[in-house]
Structure 1
Amino acid sequence: MQLGTRWTSGDEPPKVVPEALARGIRAVDESIPDDALGQPRPRWTLTWLEARPIAELDTGVIVSLDADGEPVVRHDDGDEFA
């Protein structure tokens, strides 16, 4: 069993996050606008399912790796983003 971790969106992902997954996370982070009211940024949660990393943002955005090891971004409602 592998434990996960949490960090704030916009911060560098922890070193345990595979680089391909980190690329997808950074792309999502870059698309989140700054909050003019100073609200805290959402947080990522890293979990492992069958030894594969999955990062989920508090907003419901999920970044995982496909069979080729490339990042896939989707929302927890099942929609994939281009």
Structure 2
Amino acid sequence: MQLGTRWAVGSAAPAALPPVVASAVCDVEAELRVDGVAVAGWAWTLTWLEGRPVVELDDGTLITYNDAERSATVRQVGQDADDDDDY
């Protein structure tokens, strides 16, 4: 069993995350900075679903991991499943 965790936006992601998921987290945070979004007090929540990481930002942004493809998918709040950003 793996336990989840929370960490603040801008802090280092947990070492247990696959590199592609950690990269997706960094990319989302970079977009927030470019867009000038005030993220003070925001945090990521890491949970494990069937051994795979699921990372959610306080605004609802969701990053999932596909271990077969070793890819991460970012879903923004209100985004259709067809518009996913795959890494």
Provide the TM-score with structure 2 as the length reference. 0.77
> Aligned pair count?
80
In structure 2, the partner of 1:68 is 69
Q: Deviation per CA, 1:32-71, whole angstroms, max 9, x where unpaired?
A: 13557xx614100000000010100000000111240111
Asked if 1:14 corresponds to 2:14, the answer is yes
In structure 2, the partner of 1:45 is 45
Please identify which structure carries the higher helix content: 2
Q: Is there any run of 5+ residues in structure 1 with no aligned partner, and where?
A: none
In 1, distance between residues paired with 2:27 and 2:7? 16
Q: CA RMSD in A?
A: 2.1
**Structure 1 residue runs of 4+, over 2 Å off?**
33-36, 75-82
The answer to whether the Cα contact below 8 Å between 1:10 and 1:30 also exists between their aligned partners in 2 is no
Which residue identity does 2:62 align to in structure 1? I
Identity fraction in percent = 38
Q: Is there any run of 5+ residues in structure 2 with no aligned partner, and where?
A: none
Structure 1 residues 59 and 35, CA, compared in 2 at 3 Å: closer, same or farther?
closer
Provide the TM-score with structure 1 as the length reference. 0.81
